[in-house]
Chain A
Amino acid sequence: MVYILLVFLSASLLIFILPGWLKKQKAILLSFVQFAAFIYFLSHVSEITSYHSKSIFIEWIPQLGLNLEFMLDGLSMVFALLVTGIGALVFLYAKDYMKSYAGTDKFFFYLMLFSGAMLGLVLSGNLIQLFIFWELTSFISFFLISFFHEKESARKAAFQSLYITGFGGLSMLAGIVLLGSVVDSYSFSDWLSNANAIKESNLYLPGLLLILAGIFTKSAQFPFHFWLPGAMQAPAPVSSYLHSATMVKAGIFLLARLSPVLGGTPEWTYIISLTGVLTMLTGSYFAITQTDLKGILAFTTINALGVLVLLLGINTTESIKAAMLFLFIHAFYKATLFMVAGLIEKKTGTRELRQLGGLIKYMPLTFVIAFLALLSMAGLPPLLGFLGKELIYEAKVQSPGIASMILILGVTSNIFMVAVSLYFARKVFLGKPGNFPKQPNERGAAFLIGPGVLALLSLVLGLSPGKLGSAVIKPALSAVLGEVAEVKLKIWHGFNQVFFLSMLTIILGFLLYVAMLKKDKLLIYWKKINDVVFAVQLDEVFAWVMDKFVAVSKLKTKTVQHGYHRLYILTIIVFTSLLLWFQVFVTRSWNFDIPFTLRPFYISGLALVIILASAVSAVSRSRIVTIISMGVAGYGISLIFLYYSAVDLAITQILVETLTLVMFMAILQKLPRFAVLSSKKTRLRDFLIALGFGSVMTILALKAVNVNLNRSISDFYLENSYLKAFGENVVNVILVDFRALDTLGEVTVLTIAAVGVYLLLSKPKSRKL
């Protein structure tokens, strides 16, 4: 399994270094790789049963509980077969389809990587690993959807899908981490064996909702469905692959995978079935009024995804059996139809329903293929689709609780599907020839192999579904249910309730189709009603939200990053003093036992001098006065140091103060005079802020005096200064002996500053920036 992933990765990279003659055949080569992988999985079908699965465990970072785990059970098998099987056909089809475009190397690189990511996803046995593959599919699909990046609509659609699936993916990660914390593991097997602990934990509901957000966005469930029709901007092979076997099916896969762990609760059943029903209806209802071939198909995909989600939500043996079968049915007909739609666009130059018609004359083989696929989509016998619909009805009839409502909505949605399928066939292939921009033909065998094989599969498997049921669907069903269940598929179930429902659906669907065909105005009115009733377009809402988000971010940046330096400082100071004042308030009851005294008087006098000098320095308009009074304050402080036994400090302070004054004086003549730049109001505001900060610092100083620090470090220095370092001046010994390395750092800083000053002052003026 791991080797297959590695082969996929290296094959995608190899494209770029293939020699010229081989490069022309790259699509065939990649198709062959896919086919080989398909055969590999097919050969293991008999091995993977309800009782047996394969798994591989590779240690990666075991300390963090991160390991590579791969598992191949019935469910993975279903998806692996679809990914590689349809992949092989899609690559074959893309060979002809992409011939006329530039940049096909890149295209096939992305497509191969995408397929590998999807395969990795379905084979993951560890949820973090699964998430990584999940995000990979999102990212790569961004490049695939935006392949025609010169078109703005393609870029927009790609971004839209990236944002939505990316958002979902992240919330899914949060959900995985949340639930992973319950069992302290991200390994799926651990989750499975602790399923009850997860379900009973408080984190179950938030975790479930977060994971469902990921699943619903990926699988285009209502109300996130709108990205999927947008994604039809992608080239047809991509759409075909994206809609049938990959990307949107990733959500379905995860839902099925987690069903034995998280399923079976009322939350699970109601949230998921409700979302599924809504999506199902939305898809089929809007499919009717589409006029773009790919648009119709995109909305029918939404319908199918809704059906799958609904079935997994109902969570009974019947419903999951139906879901697994429907996966195949939908993959077959949807891949076929997208390929056909791409073919029609290529050959006629249009995808518009109104411009098409009578294509049966030009493309008879295509018609047969498309017709089979459409019959399967409509659920008519004897195709696989009929079988699926029967099973789905059966599941809905037997679904607990809300059966009747689900049944009615399901039948309604299927009526739409029948009508859409017939309408599609009639409008495109029958009737008068449309006015095509190009004269159509049916050349290019590779175009038809893919859809042809899939359409035939729909027919053959529809007639003899037994093997598919027992060999593939049964193990998958067991994997999803967590217990072994029998699967016997057959086409004829006898005259029962389900059969009559089927008949009813077909008849009503046919009537709707006739009405649509005879009364052209019906669709026009329908569309008008839709425009009024569903005036709010979700993709427009999404674009609006994104626009506003960007606007708010810009506004925020502009407000916070306004560019006024002093206002930044003001913000910092105000917040600091508020915090300090708050702290003062909290600890307001404290004993202060130092008496107030003016003795010794000369120190009090000195303090007064410092205070006066500082005040003068702050308000003076003259530069000289400001600087000199600053110097006075500095010298005053050095005298205080001197009196209170800090000789070294006093010396240093005097030297520094002198140097600063000299420096100021030296450049003062080159600097402008003070101008009155601020208004009186501003100055008052700044003064109040400064006073607030200063007074809280006074309180802080008093508190600091009051605190009795543990003097052990100081005592250590006092005791050992002479004994160990042979120095009498303890402060000096600390600086040059005990903490010599710190002083070295300090010297380095000063040197750097000195070099900087030298460079700044010596640079010739002509070299200014």
Chain B
Amino acid sequence: MEIILAIVVGLLYTVGVYLLLRRSILKFIIGLIFMSNATNLLVFLSAGLVPGSPAFVQAGSGSSAPLADPLPQALVLTAIVIGLGIVVFTLALKYKFFETTGTDDLDQLKKTDN
């Protein structure tokens, strides 16, 4: 299954990069979301896949069964939330930008001040 998920990661990156290279700002933002999803999945995958045993511990019980690695999960969880912050902020920025300039074309954005 790792191989299939690795292919999914690659495809998500492909779609993400392709959308980042579009001139439309909206597509650019969607590309960002794909990039962030791909990265999350990559980090998650790299820890190894453990089906059906989440990292829950109880008092007294030693580590008998192999549990899923909690560390990358904690990292990815943080990354998902930060990713949301970025996307929402860029989306608002994009909204304002369109309201001000009336264009969705990145190539119109060549100068720093007009």
Contact = CB atoms under 8 A, between A and B. Distances in A.
Nearest to B84: A656
A678 B22 contact: yes
A644 B51 CA distance: 4
A701 B42 contact: yes
A633 interface: yes
B33 to A, nearest CB: 6
Contacts of B95: 667, 670-671, 760-761
Contact of B96 (A697, A699, A763): A763
Interface string A620-643: 000100110010011001001101
Contact of B63 (A564, A675, A715): A715
Nearest to A695: B10
A765 B69 contact: no
Contacts of A644: 44, 49-51, 68
Interface string B48-67: 11111111111100010001
**Range, interface on chain B:** 35 or more
Interface in A598-633: 598-600, 603-604, 607, 610-611, 614-615, 617-618, 623, 626-627, 630, 633
A690 B14 contact: yes
Interface residues of A, number: 103
A208 B103 CA distance: 61
A615 to B, nearest CB: 7
A728 interface: yes
A749 B99 CA distance: 26
Interface stretch (A5-13, A436-444, A735-743): A735-743
Contacts of B49: 644
Given A693-B14, A715-B63, A722-B59, A566 B54 contact: no
Contacts of A660: 33, 84, 87-88
Contact of A753 (B5, B86, B109): B86
Nearest to B95: A667
A634 B87 CA distance: 14
Nearest to B63: A718
A672 B26 CA distance: 9
A547 interface: no
B36 to A, nearest CB: 10
B57 A728 contact: yes
B57 A722 contact: yes
Contacts of B28: 566
A698 B89 contact: no
Contacts of A634: 33, 37
A634 B80 CA distance: 11
B9 to A, nearest CB: 5
Interface string B20-39: 11111011101001100110
A366 B6 CA distance: 94
B65 to A, nearest CB: 11
Given A611-B8, A633-B37, A735 B91 contact: no
Chain A interface, >50% SS class: helix
Given A667-B91, A756-B89, A760-B96, A743 B10 contact: no
B35 to A, nearest CB: 10
B78 A735 contact: yes
Main secondary structure of the interface of B (DSSP, over half): helix
A734 B74 contact: yes
A566 B20 CA distance: 7
A508 to B, nearest CB: 69
Contacts of A709: 47
A652 B80 contact: yes
Nearest to B110: A563
B67 to A, nearest CB: 6
Contacts, number: 281
A705 B2 contact: yes
A640 B5 contact: yes
B11 A694 contact: yes
Nearest to B111: A563
Nearest to A719: B63
Contact of A675 (B17, B24, B44, B84): B24
A693 B56 contact: no
A713 B110 CA distance: 47
Contacts of A626: 27, 30
Interface string A641-678: 10111111100110010011001100100111011011
Contacts of A719: 63
A700 interface: yes
A690 B20 CA distance: 9
A746 B19 CA distance: 27
Contacts of A686: 17-18, 21-22
A689 B69 contact: no
Interface string A700-738: 111011010101011101110110000011110011000
A102 interface: no
Contacts of B70: 714, 717-718, 721, 730-731, 734
Contacts of B44: 641, 644, 646, 649
Top 8 nearest A-B pairs by Cβ distance?
A694-B14, A698-B10, A704-B46, A645-B68, A563-B110, A690-B17, A753-B85, A690-B18
Interface of A: 563-566, 569-570, 573, 594, 596-600, 603-604, 607, 610-611, 614-615, 617-618, 623, 626-627, 630, 633-634, 637, 640-641, 643-649, 652-653, 656, 659-660, 663-664, 667, 670-672, 674-675, 677-678, 686-687, 689-691, 693-702, 704-705, 707, 709, 711, 713-715, 717-719, 721-722, 728-731, 734-735, 739, 742-743, 746, 749-750, 753-754, 756-757, 760-761, 763, 765, 768-769
26 contacts: A564-B107, A569-B20, A573-B17, A610-B8, A623-B26, A630-B33, A637-B41, A649-B73, A663-B87, A667-B95, A670-B95, A671-B94, A672-B98, A674-B24, A693-B13, A694-B11, A694-B13, A694-B14, A695-B14, A701-B42, A705-B2, A734-B70, A739-B74, A754-B88, A756-B93, A760-B92
Given A610-B12, A644-B44, 12 more contacts: A564-B106, A573-B17, A607-B7, A645-B52, A660-B87, A663-B87, A690-B15, A695-B10, A707-B46, A731-B55, A746-B78, A761-B95
Interface of B: 1-24, 26-28, 30, 33-34, 37-38, 40-42, 44-59, 63, 67-71, 73-74, 76-78, 80-89, 91-96, 98-100, 104-107, 109-111
